[in-house]
Amino acid sequence: MKKNVAVKYIIRTLPILVILFIFSCKGNREVTVKELQGHIKYLSSDSLKGRLTGSPGDSLAAEYIKSKLVSYGLIPLSGDGLQRYKVTKRVLAGKSNSLSVNGINYAPDKDFMPFAFSSSTGLESEVVFAGYGFNINADSLKWNDYNGIDVKGKWVMMLRGDPEPENNKSPFITFSADRDKALLAKDMGAAGVLMVSGPVFDPQDAFESLNIEGYSVDIPVLRIKKEVADIILSKSKNTIASLEKKLNDAKKPFSFSTKVSVNGKAEIVRELANTRNVVMLLPGEDPKLKDEYIILGAHFDHLGMGGPGSGSRALDTIGIHHGADDNASGVAMMLELAEKFAKTKGSHKRSIICLSFSGEEEGLLGSKHFVDDPGINLSKVDAMINMDMVGRLNKTNNLQIGGVGTAIGLKDLVYAKSDTSIIKLTLSEEGYGPSDHSSFYGKNIPVLFYFTGAHMDYHTPTDTWEKINFKGMIEISDLIFNVTKELASENSRLHFKEAGPKAETNRYPRRKGATLGIMPDFAGVIKNGLRADFVTPGKPAALGGMQKGDIITFINGKQVNNIQDYMFRMGQLKHGQTISVEVLRNDKKVVLVIQL
């Protein structure tokens, strides 16, 4: 009897069970606070230790993102869905660093150490003291430490800093960077550089850790202690302390040959780390349009534990930089949108690529790597939508959207698909900005950049998940879904349009002086030159005939190997000056004459 009742119960409830099973398989296709919170709490957790590019936390984040996308039904764009590449993890002094003066050997790390921008080469030669290592010829400031001395093929010893160490607005600051001085010494003919800190500039005379961002200047550059420098100066009856005082008081150059020879060698070891982009595909539903793509992108790396050279705003703090808003929020939104598109039938005739980058904080490395080796025809990409810091919608409900001018009609589409009674929009036409969409804009791909704005927790350990506006994230995700759905389903494609930059923009401090009007390749993809990823119409470079993709190799006959060389060369030029710029264009040398 009980058995028959059980059978009847199962028969009666079977249709309901089937419906519930189908519904559970379909899943929740709406973006929810619970799911957003789960993603952000994990990605910004202590266990990932700030997701520094190339770190174990970076790897765990990538695996998490991939596993979620797989669970939503996405497939790898190619291979296993992880696009691997290498980054410089740290720069170390090698075992072959050496320095001897008058036959006495000095100890690495204790008496001297190489700079990160040193070449791994050596030199035995006379040492010439060249003051602060300046050659300044500005309208309001003139100072030439190289006048009257011969430095060709020799070591040049110079003081670090400038003769106004207490003046935060000193005109010398622009010319006082260590690397700039070393590159200038090379330009003047020096074969090596010895730098020393005076007691006023640095009473502790402490060695700093090596900075991974230092591109080589192609000559050996050593930092030496004051005591070693004083031995080199002994024949001249000078000391570093007396020379620093003399230069600071007189505010004029004082250079001379020390008559002492130094044998020194630098060795720099760049330790590489593996990292990866996550590149997953949601195939399009239309047989004719599925070979075209919309990209949803967000970077997952952050600053790790912070510290010098990390980009942290908490300069004196070593601690986990959680990066909940920057950019666990963007990744969480991308994941939720991926799930919603996967579970919303008829939402995407075109294929959707969900692309999560590493290396953004270190110079858009991941997005640069992808656009240079995409595995697809980039001309088939209709638009790239980038979400970077979308978790702090404020009380005014103001959302910033960049790139609306990068395609004809794109601004109108954004407005049409946005409920401005809920969220206020601040739109920017320009396609370039300090995030990964810039890499795609440089390849003539329309872009949109969603951003809720900077805040006091930006790039500090206090950017934590509790401060995220999850309700605001849901509202933003609705806007992005509506725009993306239209782009993914409309039969006609967007037509790319150049929109900025209106002026040269970069991650390096602005120098006083002239600009070419280009967007440089910050990631250093090209070696032995600097690629112009965008040339602004109407600016000096464009008027002088420079084209997007040209690789700058020389400015006024002086070599340009990287972004730092370029910034230094441009910092020496003036508005109105006419210069020669040698570029590589399709492997052919082209010389351009450009008026700044």
**Are 580 and 484 within one domain?**
no
In a domain, 398, yes or no: yes
Indicate if the pLDDT at residue 88 is higher than 60: yes
Exposure of 541 in the CB half-sphere (CA atoms within 13 A): 30
pLDDT of 510: 37
Kindly report which listed range (3-17, 334-348, 526-540, 542-556) carries the lowest average pLDDT score: 3-17
Q: Find the mean pLDDT for residues 123-151.
A: 95
| Residue % of the chain over a pLDDT of 70 | 92
Q: Helices marked H in 189-257 — which ranges?
A: 226-232, 240-250
Let me know if residue 427 belongs to a domain: yes
Q: SS3 for 36?
A: helix
**Residue 3 lies inside a defined structural domain of this protein:** no
CA 100/CA 429 separation, integer angstroms: 58
Mean pLDDT of 424-448: 92
Q: Quick one: 245 and 167 in the same domain?
A: yes
pLDDT over 90 at 122, yes or no: yes
Distance CA 162, CA 180 (A): 13
My answer on whether 447 and 578 are in the same domain is no
Indicate whether 245 and 210 sit together in one domain. yes
Q: Is residue 388 part of a domain?
A: yes
Helix H or strand E segment including 487: helix 470-489
**Of 21-30, 101-110, 466-475, the least confident:** 21-30
Residues 300, 404 within the same domain = yes
Residue 10: is its pLDDT beyond 90? no
Same domain, 316 and 248: no
Q: What is the CATH classification number for the domain harbouring 282?
A: 3.40.630.10
CB 424 within 8 A of CB 353: no
The domain that holds 118 is classified in CATH as 3.50.30.30
Q: Would you state the pLDDT for residue 505?
A: 39
pLDDT of residue 509: 37
The answer on 484 and 448 residing in a single domain is yes
Q: Is the per-residue pLDDT at 34 higher than 80?
A: yes
- pLDDT over 70 (residue 565): yes
Q: Which domain holds residue 550?
A: 518-595
- Both 391 and 247 in a single domain? no
Judge if 202 and 242 occupy the same domain: yes
Distance CA 500, CA 146 (A): 41
Summarize the confidence of residues 297-306 as an average pLDDT.
97
Number of domains in the chain: 3
* Res. 521 pLDDT band, cuts 50 70 90: confident
| 3-class state of residue 410 by DSSP | helix
Does residue 322 sit in the same domain as residue 468?
yes
SS (H, E, C) 38-79: HHHHHHCCHHHCCCECCCHHHHHHHHHHHHHHHHCCCEECCC
Is pLDDT above 60 for 16?
Answer: no
* Residue 506 belongs to a domain: no
Q: 511 lies in a domain?
A: no
CATH number at residue 554: 2.30.42.10
Strand partners, 168: none
Domain boundary among 246, 266, 286: 266
Place of tokens 């980038």: 386
Domain boundary among 266, 281, 306: 266
Do residue 139 and residue 208 come from a single domain? yes
- The residue-averaged pLDDT of 223-227 equals 98
In a domain, 328, yes or no: yes
The structure tokens listed for 371 are 């656009």
Residue 374's pLDDT band, with cuts at 50, 70 and 90, is: very high
Co-location of 31 and 108 in the same domain = no
12 versus 322: the higher-pLDDT residue is 322
Residue 504 maps to a domain:
no
